[in-house]
Chains A and B, each alone.
Chain A
Amino acid sequence: MMAFRKSGSLTTKHRGFTREDWELYSLFIPAAVLIIIFSYVPMWGIIIAFQDYIAGNSFFQLSSAKWVGFKHFRNFVNSMYFSRTLINTIRLSVMHLLFGFTTPIFFALLLNEVRTLRYKKFVQTASYLPYFISTVVAAGMVLSFLEVNGLINNLLGLLGLQPREYIASPSAYPWIYTATNVWKGFGFNSILYFSTISGIDPNLYESARIDGANRWQQILHITVPSILYIIAVQLVMQMGHILNTNTDLALLLYRSATYSTSDVIGTYVYRVGIHGGKYSYTAAVGLFQSVIAFTLTFITNKISNKLTGYGLW
């Protein structure tokens, strides 16, 4: 279908490469150069996962590269870090699905039942605020509030609990991390559901009311079914990200005392790769993560296409 252009634009009158063609194609150059350098070259750079990469070498110096096959992958899978980071990553992802994914939905359903428009707008705007607080500030607040003589321990003290250093507690860490994530995102993530709900035809509610449906039945039989498909698509997309945690936040909140529950693939790659300088090894760990993520996305996308008729491709 690319042999001849359809008629309609002025440039199609010439068969050769005209000045207008040059104008048109030259517009690709700025972004294309950046995409090649910063997206495609790193893809090529994945080959270091199969080498013993020497720091300072170029990705393209293949003659001096020492190829080691799957050595780094085997090392990772056989190390204690494999099960630890994998389990921690999946634990945090599942907790995110249980709380981070559901809270925006419930929040949107709840707020839709608020009838005073100004009050509704106020709560909505307030709920977006944490999204505009930077990750560093959010983490800083969490760390301060959780200090032994901090806000949280003071409040728990009123209930008679002894002060504890929760941030150093491996059992508390997943909850702290999840709560911070939910707090930062629930309002903003509910926008999608708000907008979908506001697009529902008001006549549906009217006729339901005439049929004698009470408020709860209206929610259950009109509002929920109307957003169900958005929920399904979002859920499928989340499944593809099950090995991706919020490394930006984790790196700020975790510490060696909580590694047993807080060390995820993202933080491990950062610590051992960037700080430890084991580039080839961590490139292999990163590739392992990407391949699984890609496979999961692929499978869930297939399922989504089957169930909802919508998918990423």
Chain B
Amino acid sequence: MTKDSPAVTNKKNRIREGSRAADAVIYLIAALAAFLCLYPLYYVFVLSLSEPMVAATMRVYWWPKGFYTGGYSRILTDSRLWISYRNTIFYAIVQALGMLFTCCTFAYPLSVKGLKGRKFVNIFLLTPMYISGGTIPRFLLILQTGLYNTMWALILPGIYSVWYIILVRSYFGTIPESLREAARIDGASHYQTLWNVYIPTSKPILAVIALYTIVGVWNSWFRPALYLTSQNLQPLQLYLRRILVENSINLSEEMASDELVAAAMAQRVSNNQLKYTVIIVSSLPMLIAYPFFQQYFVKGVMLGSLKE
């Protein structure tokens, strides 16, 4: 399933004819689809810079009304944002590295021809794909092992994936056996062969797995919400959930007690605007990054669709 080179695609496009009207309709629907994907976030950006009262009633569509950066200065000085940001980056790096480690180590022996017990290992590996304990037993296990409310509750179950092991195993299977033989004859141990021959050769698939893991960590909120109660350990998504979904913003609690009702109302309005600000601040890194690594995701989807 190779992608067409631009030349071939152009040729294909050129040879297919249709009426101008049909073209216009197709281009218009495509534009509408792109608009629906881009506009909501752009709209949030517009709101985040508009005057708080305007943002509250959402009577603005294309361009910020007024220019208000108070939301940004408030959110950017909130230490809890940065703690949760740091936590997410930490979890993403650790889990991506851990995932690569467990995938490569487990897949390597399976790629050795004539391994004793391969059948047993495969059954061991595949069973969890079809039978799972479910939310409650998993949660109770975390409680019983004492991992609850430690970062390990997130990291340890998050650094292995049966599916990714299978992907790496298939990839390792395509590496010629003669490469291993050559390394072994030169006196390399299996560890060295894996590290010096297999891992460098498998960079494309490893990049795909690392990126999928990072985006998965970046997105996830359910498991952190289950296992982490301490705000110092929680990732960015839980900070966002408190502001966006639970509406509990108290960036300036110390003020609230001696403020008048009117001031409290104003506070409420600008708190509401903080939502838009925090969406922009928290989504920006991913939005800047994804166009550059979308090719890896395309590759991942294709690998995932291949049957054994």
Contacts and interface: CB of A to CB of B under 8 A. Distances in A.
A29 to B, nearest CB: 8
Given A110-B30, A114-B30, A125-B291, A135 B219 contact: yes
A252 B11 contact: no
Contacts of A83: none
A303 interface: no
B104 to A, nearest CB: 8
B34 interface: yes
B113 A8 contact: yes
B16 A134 contact: no
A32 B165 CA distance: 11
Interface string B29-41: 1110110111011
Interface in B233-290: 237, 240-241, 243-245, 275-276, 279, 282-283, 286-287, 290
Given A9-B112, A123-B33, A129-B37, A283 B136 contact: yes
Interface stretch (A63-71, A90-98, A184-192): A184-192
A148 B202 CA distance: 53
A159 to B, nearest CB: 16
Contacts of A38: 138, 141, 156-157, 160
B122 to A, nearest CB: 12
B244 A143 contact: yes
B66 interface: no
B87 interface: no
A160 interface: no
A269 interface: yes
Nearest to B226: A274
A283 B144 contact: no
Interface stretch (B74-82, B89-97, B183-191): B183-191
Interface string A37-66: 111111111101000010010110000000
A73 interface: no
Contact of A252 (B43, B113, B194, B245): B245
B114 interface: yes
Contacts of B282: 134, 137
Contacts of A294: 130-131
Contacts, number: 310
Interface residues of B, number: 115
Interface residues of A, number: 106
B73 to A, nearest CB: 21
Contacts of A164: none
A273 B156 CA distance: 23
Contacts of A139: 244-245
A209 B14 CA distance: 11
B58 interface: yes
A175 interface: no
Given A5-B113, A5-B114, A214-B18, 8 more contacts: A31-B105, A44-B133, A107-B33, A111-B30, A143-B244, A191-B301, A195-B301, A274-B136
Interface of B: 1-4, 6, 8-18, 22-23, 26-27, 29-31, 33-34, 36-38, 40-41, 43-44, 56-59, 101-103, 105-106, 108-109, 112-119, 121, 124-125, 127-128, 130-141, 143-145, 156-157, 159-160, 162, 165, 177, 180-181, 184-185, 189-191, 194, 215, 218-222, 226, 237, 240-241, 243-245, 275-276, 279, 282-283, 286-287, 290-291, 294, 297-298, 301-302, 305, 307
- The 6 A-B pairs of least Cβ separation, nearest first, read A42-B133, A140-B244, A45-B137, A5-B114, A286-B134, A215-B18
26 contacts: A5-B114, A6-B114, A10-B181, A27-B109, A28-B109, A38-B156, A43-B128, A45-B136, A46-B137, A53-B140, A59-B140, A110-B29, A115-B14, A126-B33, A132-B215, A136-B245, A139-B244, A140-B244, A188-B301, A202-B15, A205-B15, A205-B16, A215-B22, A269-B134, A283-B134, A283-B137
